[in-house]
Structure 1
Amino acid sequence: MAKDLTSSAIDRQNILNNPYALAEIEKAAGIQGIPFEGKNVVLKEQVAEFFEVTVRTIENYLEHHTEELAQNGYEVIKGNRLKTLKESILALGVHETNFGNISKTPQLGVFDFRAFLNLAMLISESERAKLLRQAILDIVIDTINHRTGGGTKYINQRDEEFLHSAFIEENYRKQFTDALMDCVAMGNFKYAIYTDRIYVSIFREKAQEYRKILRLGQKDKVRDTLYSEVLDLIASYECGLGDALRKAADQVGRKLSVGEVDALFNDFANQAHWRPLIEKARSKMASRDLAFRDALHLQLKEYVTPVQRDEFERFLGEKSKELSERLEESRDVMKRLKERG
């Protein structure tokens, strides 16, 4: 999916929150900055020169995107910190007037690498910025693919919570399908119908719609691609619906009709206590799939937010692992859970 970084604040922030991609982009960019407080910074004159635009252009972007740039590392320094910066400039052997007339200025704005990159994703007038944006997008994709072993279809399984959630959901899935079999007067298509009803209630998509968005093959199982929070919510639905079906069937002394099951489902799904859990699951799924899988769930577009740094650590960092590794490590734990169940 083509991304226009100049117009999408969410796409920009997803890149700036990804420490693994940032490290690779910084290597590729090779920006020479001023050493300051343990990192390199650049001034607006340097930024303007790099992007072949005027200083006034940089100032315009600072004016119109103050909050975003400040959030990502741009800051105005003064006092003793400014004095230290000037000393660092002198130590480079370059006269400070090369960076503008800063000898008497009481304060000075500086960009660290994140803020510089943020600006590169905003500037539309610069051909260099355009080329850098394309390189950024390529590096982000390459970095994610490299850290996930070549693809993101099952990036959800790298989460240390996935295995436990998948195991628990499988148990509740069996309870739910058993309740459908014992309590609902309908053919075998009832399993697909009410599974889809759960999916639509939680993330507004039927299984087939979800498969298209994630470009899943016929042999790929939808639940193998779901995040742990979504699996937990599905398990809660299955547990509660299975119990409700059995109680309703016992009360009338027979299997339930389609109309009765639909009414029961609607009442169950509309209970107020689901709302915060559904909101959270929708946001997690929509936001992560856009950032990690380049997949946009149009039905959940309003739930998309930037993925935070700890999320990148969770799915790409040292704690993330292939499912096969987790299965080996968790064999004894799974055995105890199975025996307990």
Structure 2
Amino acid sequence: MANDLTASSVQRQNILNNPFAVTEIQKATSLRGVSFEGETWLVKEQVADFFEVDVRTIERILEQNRDELSENGYAVIRGKRLQALKLAISEGGGTDIDVGTKVTVLGIFSFRAFLNLGMLLTDSQRAILLRKLVLDIAIDVINQRTGGGTKYINQRDQDFIHAWFQEENFRKELTDALRDCVAMGNFKYAIYTDKIYQSIFRERTAEYRKILKLEKADKTRATFYSEVLDLIASYERGFAHELRDACERKGEPLTTHEVDELFTRFESMPLWKPLIDSARNKMASRDLAFRDALHQQLEEYVTPIEAADFERFLGEKSMELQERLEQAKDVFKRLKERE
């Protein structure tokens, strides 16, 4: 899908919240500023010079988007903090920042705020080139850290294996309950799997697979995030209990109509609402940011990815599933040796 940074606040924030991408972009731009409080800062005149626009254009963008830019590092400083900045400028040397001695209030841009402004600036050729660079680097960083593909980026999460094994166990509870308690052919397993998926993220299995462009050999559940697997597991165990309870009360297997009514009541329980909203938000937002996949049925749930999620799926603690399985195998082996 197209990425228009000037039009999408979510797309902008997904890049600005990605510390790995921002670091690489900063290296690529080699932007000169003043080192202050552990960051690189620029003043309006420097930003205007870089983008080859009038300072009034920068001020207009600031006025229209002050909250977003402030969230990403634009700051207005005065007093002791301003004096400390002036000292850093004088001691730094070789900088083109000029802050007059009579200046008592100054607006400054962190590198993230500078990038943010470049994503908002529509009448600058340099801003257009910067946006292309930003998108290229953001994509390259994700591909490099995931080995060239994001189909199974969910498996880099340290919580994935536990959620995966737990869901497999509860999946069997549901299939056993469907086998024992529902008077219907084997098609019932696919039908009620789809019902669970539709209830949680408004898509059937086939629709989900098409959005993620899964191949025939790809397992659908192997692409789910741990939070989604946890919720599916809760549905499976809970609905299995409801099926067995209803079957026991009736004294014989349930009809399709009875099972459908039972599921409608089950999915309407108020307790699911916050859990479903959270799962939809995580799946829709992460798939858009990491997999460039838009779940149109969940578009209203899309929000920017937090920096913690970039660390979770791209950082040093994240790793491929095979590595985690090897670690788990070693743990199980040591436990067995102690018995």
The normalised TM-score by structure 1 is: 0.95
Aligned length: 336
Query: Residue by residue, what CA displacement relative to the aligned partner does 1:80-102 show, whole Å, maximum 9, x if unpaired?
Result: 22122223333455698x64x73
Aligned partner (choices 169, 172, 179) of residue 170 of structure 2 = 172
2:290 maps to amino acid: F
Deviations 1:121-149 (A, max 9, x none): 11001111011101111101110011111
CA 336–199 in structure 1, closer or farther in 2 if over 3 Å, else same: farther
SS of corresponding position for 1:320 = coil
Equivalences for residues 222-261 of structure 1 within 5 A: 222-261=220-259
Per the alignment, residue 284 of structure 1 pairs with 282
Specify whether residues 94 and 178 from structure 1 end up closer, same or farther in structure 2 by C-alpha distance, changes over 3 A only: closer
Equivalent residues in 2 for 1:301-320 (5 A)? 301-320=299-318
Tell me the CA shift for residue 329 of structure 1. Answer: 0.8
Q: For residues 309-330 of structure 1, give each alpha carbon's deviation from its aligned partner in whole angstroms, at most 9, with x where no partner exists.
A: 1111111111101101110111
Q: TM-score, normalised by structure 2?
A: 0.95
SS at match of 1:111: strand
- Match 1:139 to one of 137, 156, 160: 137
Q: Which residue of 2 aligns with 1:156?
A: 154
Alpha-carbon separation, structure 2, partners of 1:102 and 1:144: 43
Give the match for residue 50 of structure 1. Answer: 50
Could you say what secondary structure the match of 1:105 adopts?
coil
Per-residue CA deviations over 1:208-258 (Å, capped at 9, x if unaligned) read: 110111111111111000000000000010001111111111111111111
Percentage of pairs with the same residue: 62
Unaligned runs of 5+ in 1: none
Choose the corresponding residue for 1:325, options 317, 323, 326: 323
Matches within 5 A, 1:200-215: 200-215=198-213
User: Greater shift after overlay, 178-187 or 192-201?
Assistant: 178-187
**Pick from 107, 120, 143: which aligns with 1:122?**
120
Distance between the aligned counterparts of 1:166 and 1:336, measured in 2?
22
Q: Does 2:227 correspond to 1:267?
A: no
Q: Distance in 1 between matches of 2:192 and 2:15?
A: 38
Q: Distance in 1 between matches of 2:241 and 2:85?
A: 67
| Deviation string, structure 1 residues 161-205 (Cα, Å, up to 9, x no partner) | 000100010011111111111111111111111100000000000
**What is the root-mean-square deviation in Å for CA atoms of aligned residues?**
1.8
| 1:201 to 1:16, Cα distance in 2 relative to 1, 3 A | same
Instruction: Give, in whole Å, the separation in 2 of the partners of 1:306 and 1:335.
Output: 41
Distance in 1, matches of 2:167 and 2:294, equals 25
- Equivalent position of 1:78 in the other structure: 78
Alpha-carbon distance between aligned partners in 1 of 2:121 and 2:261, rounded to the nearest angstrom: 54
Does structure 1 conserve the Cα–Cα contact (< 8 Å) formed by 2:33 and 2:95? Answer: no
Residues 179-218 of structure 1 aligned to structure 2 (within 5 Å): 179-218=177-216
Following superposition, the deviation at residue 41 of structure 1 comes to: 0.7
The unaligned stretches of length 5 or more in structure 2 are none
Deviates more, 1:217-226 or 1:244-253: 244-253
User: CA shift at 1:334, angstroms?
Assistant: 6.2
Cα distance in 2 between the residues matched to 1:335 and 1:198: 36
What secondary structure, in the 3-state scheme, does the structure 2 residue paired with 1:76 have? strand
Quick one: structure 1 residues 333 and 258, their matched pair in 2 at CA, closer, same or farther if it must change by over 3 Å? farther
1:262, CA displacement in angstroms? 0.2
Q: Which consecutive segments of 4 or more residues in structure 1 shift more than 6 A? A: 334-337
* Secondary structure at 1:42 match in 2: strand
